[in-house]
Amino acid sequence: MQMPQWDHLIPDPRVQSILRGVIGLIDVVFPGRIRGFYLLGSQSDGTTVALSDIDLIVLFRESLRADEGEVFARVVEACELLSPVRLDITAQSEETFHAADVRLKLGSVPVAGDDIRAQLPLPTPQEHARYITNWTNFFIRRLHDIPHLRASLVYPDSSDVFYGYATVRIPEWYSPGVTAGTKELAATVCWTATALLSLKLGDAGYVGTKGEAVRRYRDLGDGAWDNYVTKVYARCRGAWYYEIPQGAEEQDELRALCASALPFFNYYLATYQEYLVQQRQADDPAHREWAEEQLSAWAE
């Protein structure tokens, strides 16, 4: 499979080499089966930091057979063992393409194979809201160490200097041995902003990257929270590279951001609950049923 020159897109030679190796290996294992490789996230828009992953979607032609899926998983596992940079590689197929995940259409860069982004459909606002809130709720639950959403959250650890929001819960996101960092907090805040854009703006709120979500949410002017999202993204990611800052003043700043995280997440949950109540009257029976299920689970 022909791979274009990436110097203008990916300045890091190490990342270029990893991508060429991964793409070349997958193409050899699945000859003629791959429609295209699409780079997502910070590697696709030149905003990487030290802990940035390589996010890659591999799009198979037609359908992905069960046996192919098993082989693909083993290949990805081998690539992860070899790569010094964390890899997040997922497979989709033309027949089972997840339209609700707009990142491929709106936030990716093709790095090998065909560019079919213009041909991909966009989801309905209801489909997108279901998809994006599902992931947002997953990260909120994980950040708060709870199995189910509550109408009103509490701090993960009110006795901790950062209220439990800097505790590492996904160690593979960090360097070995790291026990405190802010990547999970920043990611969850960005997912929440993305969900709020979807809930409030419908299809006008679709975004393909975290950076775009931050900019669009800031422009939305959603009370005090637009500036909060911008600060979390700029400081946790841009200034501190997801690490705990060492200076006392910066630690106080991080503590303040963590203190504000709880009311921000509760604001989202209130907005989400209002959306679910409204969707009880949706035209689509499947969406009405989904809203009822979400509200019932919440009540339990």
The residues, any chain, with a CB within 8 Å of residue 137's CB and separated by 6 or more, are 149, 272
Q: How confident is the model at residue 9 (pLDDT cuts 50, 70, 90)?
A: confident
Q: Is residue 1 situated within a structural domain? A: no
Question: Does 257 have pLDDT greater than 90?
Answer: yes
pLDDT in tens, 83-100: 999 999 999 999 988 889
Q: Which domain holds residue 102?
A: 13-119
Statement to judge: residues 109 and 130 lie in one domain: no
What 3 state SS string does 43-101 have?
HHHCCCCCCCCEEEEEEECCCCCHHHHHHHHHHHHHHHHHCCCCEEEEEEECCCCCCCC
Residues 109 and 83 in one domain: yes
Residue 82's Cα: distance from chain center in Å? 24
Query: Is residue 8 included in any domain, yes or no?
Result: no
To 5 degrees, how large is the angle CA 165–CA 167–CA 172?
120
Do residue 91 and residue 167 come from a single domain? no
- Which of 41-45, 99-103, 104-108 has the weakest average pLDDT? 41-45
CATH at 43: 3.30.460.10
Residues 167 and 266 placed together within one structural domain of the fold = yes
Domain C-terminal end among 119, 149, 179 = 119
Q: How far apart are CA 19 and CA 107, in angstroms?
A: 18
Both 108 and 157 in one domain: the answer is no
Whole-angstrom Cα distance, residue 120 to residue 190?
24
List, for residues 146-177, the tens digit of each pLDDT value.
Answer: 998 988 899 999 999 999 999 999 999 998 99
Which residue bears the tokens 């966009």?
Answer: 122
Residue 56, beta-bridge partner list: 39, 89
Q: What percent of the chain has pLDDT over 70?
A: 96
Question: Could you tell me the pLDDT band of residue 4, with boundaries at 50, 70 and 90?
Answer: low
For residue 62, being part of any structural domain is answered with yes
In the prediction, which pLDDT does 41 show?
81
Please tell me whether the overall predicted TM-score, pTM, comes out greater than 0.75 for this model: yes
Residues 51 and 154 in one domain: no
Tell me: do 82 and 162 sit in the same domain.
no
Domain count, the chain: 2
Q: 238 with 115, same domain?
A: no
